Amino acid sequence: MSEMKKIKNLKEFSTSADRFEGANLLCPGCAHSIIVREVLNATNDDLVLSASTGCLEVCTAVYPYTSWDASWIHIGFENGSTAVAGAEAMYNALKKKGRLKQPERNPKFISFAGDGASYDIGFQWISGCFERGHNIMHVVLDNEVYANTGGQRSSSTPIGGSNTTTPAGTHSYGEKQNKKDMMAIMAAHGGPYVAQVSPNKWKDMVKKIQHGFSVDGPVFINAASQCCTEWKFDPKDTMHLADLSTDTLAWPLYEIIDGKELNITYRPKNVIPVEEYLAAQGRFKHLFKDEYKYLIKEWQERVDSNWAYLNRREEARV
Amino acid sequence: MANTGWDEFEIGAMLRSFDGKIDDIAGTLQEDRAYSQNNSFVASVADWRIEKPVFNKDFCIDCQFCWIYCPDISIISRDKKMIGVDMDHCKGCGICVEVCPTNPKSLLMFPEHADEEAELAKWPEKDEEKK
């Protein structure tokens, strides 16, 4: 059981038996469950899962139903990662004492959380897990907003986004702070593997998840989760938005090994102007008014300089 | 158990996903699992739909794009073949239609009340202008 599941192509992948069930209450077109499926199907091993408070948690555990076919726990907004880390510590202790009933099984410990529960509220707890070096994986479903509670800004919300607590209007263009660079922060913790993924690049995602399972130590996965409700686009366009985010480099795909070695894992053949990514979402529509158009230019400059930075990091190997 | 109110539980009560013991969930397909009444698999969100996807297997190339990108585990693929849509769990988002690469598409959205046989009979022809 402990050897890695072989997934050569999508046809082979499609023989997986899903361990996440339908009739959950996520919005139609929500990218959360696409990401969860891609993560869970990447392994055949047993799973110990947690979800911090957020869309995923409230929509998959509505009494009397559960959508999870594996051990699953939810405690609070902040401590999903710590709950899984505790389970991992107990597993290791029992293993050491020889008290596991099925020692040949090799469970995977995964904690799911939204950007609110990772970038803001649960940050200290994830930081603690990384510092203690638990063998867990923390997956962020980053939809750049507190979507569950009605669209308040989080520290992951990018500049210019109109949210309920930072609405755009005559006096404001919306969110004024830039998105927190969570990847760099987690890499600085010295974890063995930190990676950014997007659901449209499933093969890249599965490769990174499996690499995350194979390393010993805490793994941080930052997944772009397109939110049709709060980003204001048609539910059918979820994958189109994901394609735009990776091809405009607004969401570059890369990994950082041991906090140092940075590898860019996807280089778009034709880089699209970031304007197209912004234009596809209702939350940025005010940026196309004359008085706020300068922000689009700033967006492009920010994306370009970030891409240049990533390329230089990749070259320098430091 | 499913008839018990959420505040009528004894402390330590368990809601299980399955009735009985399953040793290898990852190796057991959905039709072979003994789902309990507490698994959302037994529920339905079919009444969320305004439009439904209709699958035309004549044009399907089994690329499985719809399977991987379906958020609701509603595309049923067995032995590397796409065999249909799970209408109890489909919410009608339309992602499967958008990602379908065939020409004409093998999945199209129709109003919920549309007759599947009739729509299949007048399926669009190949669009020559498209690459």
Q: What is the CATH number of the domain that holds A121?
A: 3.40.50.970
Whole-number pLDDT of residue A98: 95
Complex ipTM tops 0.90: yes
B contacts of A28 (beta carbons < 8 Å): 48, 71-72, 91-93
Domain tally for chain A? Answer: 1
CA atoms lying within 13 Å on the CB side of residue A94: 11
CA terminus-to-terminus distance, chain B: 56
Q: Does B51 touch chain A (CB under 8 A)?
A: no
What's the whole-number average pLDDT of chain A? 95
Are B29 and B69 part of one and the same domain? no
In this model, does residue A2 exceed pLDDT 90?
no
The closest of A188, A56, A192, A184 to A116, measured between CA atoms, is A56
At residue B128 the predicted structure's pLDDT band, cuts being 50, 70 and 90, is confident
A contacts of B43 (beta carbons < 8 Å): 23, 65
CB B102 within 8 A of CB B62: no
What is the C-alpha separation between A138 and A129, in angstroms, rounded? 10
Residue at A223: amino acid letter: A
pLDDT in tens, A104-118: 899 999 999 999 999
Q: Residue A16 phi/psi, 5° resolution?
A: -60, 145
Buried b (16+ CB within 10 A) or exposed e, A92-128: eeeeeeeeeeeeeeebbbbbbbbbbbbbbbbbebbee
CA atoms lying within 13 Å on the CB side of residue B15: 22
What is the C-alpha separation between B12 and B10, in angstroms, rounded? 6
Question: The CATH number of the domain where B110 resides is what?
Answer: 3.30.70.20
Buried b (16+ CB within 10 A) or exposed e, A163-196: beebebeeeebbbeeebbebbebbbebebbbbbb
Residues above pLDDT 70, as percent of chain A:
99
Domain residues for the domain of B32 are: 1-43
In a domain, B59, yes or no: yes
Q: Does A60 touch chain B (CB under 8 A)?
A: yes
Are B24 and B71 part of one and the same domain? no
How close does chain B come to A67, measured CA to CA in Å?
5
At residue B82 the predicted structure's pLDDT band, cuts being 50, 70 and 90, is very high
**Residue in chain B nearest A62 by alpha carbon:** B40
What's the whole-number average pLDDT of chain B? 91
Are B50 and B9 part of one and the same domain? no
In this model, does residue B2 exceed pLDDT 60?
no
Which has the minimum average pLDDT: A144-158, B13-27, B46-60? B13-27
Q: Does B40 touch chain A (CB under 8 A)?
A: yes
The closest of A300, A313, A26, A295 to A161, measured between CA atoms, is A295
Are B49 and B112 part of one and the same domain? yes
B contacts of A202 (beta carbons < 8 Å): 68
What is the C-alpha separation between A112 and A49, in angstroms, rounded? 8
How close does chain A come to B118, measured CA to CA in Å?
24
Are B72 and B12 part of one and the same domain? no
Contact state of A239 with B67 under an 8 Å Cβ cutoff: no
The closest of A88, A63, A68, A54 to A18, measured between CA atoms, is A68
**Residue in chain A nearest B48 by alpha carbon:** A28
Strand-strand pairing, A108-114 and A137-142 = parallel
At residue B81 the predicted structure's pLDDT band, cuts being 50, 70 and 90, is very high
Instruction: State both tokens at B59.
Output: 């044009």
In a domain, A2, yes or no: no
Are B39 and B51 part of one and the same domain? no
Interface of A with B in 237-266 (CB under 8 A): 237-240
CA A134, distance to chain mean position in Å, is 19
In this model, does residue A291 exceed pLDDT 60?
yes
In this model, does residue A154 exceed pLDDT 70?
yes
Whole-number pLDDT of residue A1: 45
Are B51 and B112 part of one and the same domain? yes
Task: Tell me what percent of chain A is helix, strand and coil, each rounded to the nearest 5.
Answer: 40, 15, 45
When pLDDT is averaged across residues B49-78 and rounded to a whole number, the result is: 96
When pLDDT is averaged across residues A241-262 and rounded to a whole number, the result is: 96
Contacts 24+ apart (CB under 8 A), A282-287: A282/A231, A282/A232, A282/A233, A283/A161, A283/A162, A283/A163, A283/A174, A283/A230, A283/A231, A283/A232, A284/A160, A284/A161, A284/A162, A285/A232, A286/A162, A286/A168, A286/A169, A286/A173, A286/A174, A287/A160, A287/A173
Q: Does B110 touch chain A (CB under 8 A)?
A: no
Are B50 and B39 part of one and the same domain? no
How close does chain A come to B76, measured CA to CA in Å?
9
Which has the minimum average pLDDT: B1-10, B18-27, B41-50, B81-90? B1-10
In this model, does residue A95 exceed pLDDT 70?
yes
C-alpha dihedral over A75, A79, A85, A86, to 10 degrees? -50
pLDDT in tens, A209-233: 999 999 999 999 999 999 999 999 9
Contact state of A23 with B88 under an 8 Å Cβ cutoff: yes
Q: Does A19 touch chain B (CB under 8 A)?
A: yes
Interface of A with B in 130-169 (CB under 8 A): none
What is the C-alpha separation between B35 and B105, in angstroms, rounded? 34
At residue B40 the predicted structure's pLDDT band, cuts being 50, 70 and 90, is very high
What is the C-alpha separation between A225 and A173, in angstroms, rounded? 23
Are B87 and B103 part of one and the same domain? yes
The closest of B70, B95, B94 to B82, measured between CA atoms, is B70
Which helix (H) or strand (E) covers residue A73, if one does? strand A71-73
Domain residues for the domain of A117 are: 18-316
What is the C-alpha separation between A240 and B111, in angstroms, rounded? 23
B contacts of A49 (beta carbons < 8 Å): none
Whole-number pLDDT of residue B131: 63
Residues above pLDDT 90, as percent of chain B:
79
pLDDT in tens, A23-60: 999 999 999 999 999 999 999 999 999 999 999 999 99
What is the C-alpha separation between A180 and A250, in angstroms, rounded? 14
Whole-number pLDDT of residue A152: 95
What is the C-alpha separation between A205 and A43, in angstroms, rounded? 13
Are B50 and B93 part of one and the same domain? yes
In a domain, A6, yes or no: no
The closest of A279, A287, A295 to A241, measured between CA atoms, is A279
Whole-number pLDDT of residue A13: 95
| A202-214 and A31-40 helices, crossing angle to 10° | 50
User: In which order are the strands placed within the sheet that holds A47-51?
Assistant: A71-73, A47-51, A108-114, A137-142, A219-224, A193-197, A254-257, A261-264
Contact state of A28 with B93 under an 8 Å Cβ cutoff: yes
Contact state of A236 with B95 under an 8 Å Cβ cutoff: yes
Whole-number pLDDT of residue B129: 78
Q: Does B6 touch chain A (CB under 8 A)?
A: yes
The closest of A150, A142, A153, A147 to A178, measured between CA atoms, is A153
In a domain, B23, yes or no: yes
Domain tally for chain B? Answer: 2
Q: Does B36 touch chain A (CB under 8 A)?
A: no
Which is more confidently placed, A286 or A63?
A: A286
